[in-house]
Amino acid sequence: MTLHAAYDPDNIFAKILRQEMPCVKVYEDDLALAFMDVFPQADGHTLVIPKAVTARNFLDLPSDRIGSYMQSVQLVCRAVETGLNPDGLILTQFNGAAAGQTVFHLHFHIIPAYKDRGLKRHAGGEMAQAEILEGHAKRIRAALP
């Protein structure tokens, strides 16, 4: 898909926002929703999406929403660090299919990195079990202010 196309209101993240699809929620405020990636690259892989916008990627996000959205991303990132105690954190965001984007609703990935464990492939592998995702989410939620 091109970088600039019409927003698809039936993408999986839009359905999650409308509560038509489930998610393992980590955090929510008026501007953002954070939840566990069901195809995690590492234990604790969390996604943060903006609410009330039809932004396919970062280029589509209205400028006046960037600061508040990124504050939510940072808040969740800090909770992932505190709750899971990784050796490092990968914060990434893809713009367009050619860059690796697979869901066309803006989202940031927060991926814990551990010295002794490699990462799984992006958007591949097996779907994680809900109980495992909930265990990670519980630890992250407990670390939120």
- DSSP H helical ranges for 24-129: 63-84
The verdict on residue 60 lying in a domain is yes
Whether residue 123 is predicted with pLDDT greater than 90 in this model: the reply is no
Residue 1's pLDDT is: 60
Predicted confidence band of residue 121 (pLDDT cuts 50, 70, 90): confident
Domain that residue 35 falls in: 12-142
Q: Does 95 map to a domain?
A: yes
Mean pLDDT of 61-73: 97
* pLDDT for the residue numbered 21: 98
Share of residues in the chain with pLDDT > 70 (%): 99
What average pLDDT does the segment 128-141 reach?
97
Give the pLDDT confidence score for residue 84 in this predicted structure: 98
Any domain includes 93:
yes
In this predicted structure, what is the pLDDT of residue 82?
A: 98
- Residues 88-120 pLDDT 10s: 999 999 999 999 999 999 999 999 999 999 899
Distance separating alpha carbons of residues 115 and 138, to the nearest angstrom = 23
- Per-residue confidence band for 138, with pLDDT thresholds at 50, 70 and 90: very high
| Mean pLDDT for all residues in the chain | 96
Query: Per the structure block, which two tokens stand in for 56?
Result: 């396919």
pLDDT in tens, 21-54: 999 999 999 999 999 999 999 999 999 999 999 9
Q: Is residue 6 part of a domain?
A: no
Domain-located, residue 7: no
SS3 135: helix
Q: Does a structural domain hold residue 4? A: no
pLDDT of amino acid 111 = 98
Judge whether 123 and 97 are in contact, CB under 8 Å.
no
- Please state the domain count of the chain: 1
Q: pTM for this one?
A: 0.96
Catalytic residue, from 4, 45, 105, 107: name it.
Answer: 107
Would residue 130 count as lying in a domain? Answer: yes
> Cβ(25)–Cβ(137) under 8 Å?
yes
Q: Which CATH number does the domain housing residue 99 bear? A: 3.30.428.10
107 is catalytic: yes
In a domain, 2, yes or no: no
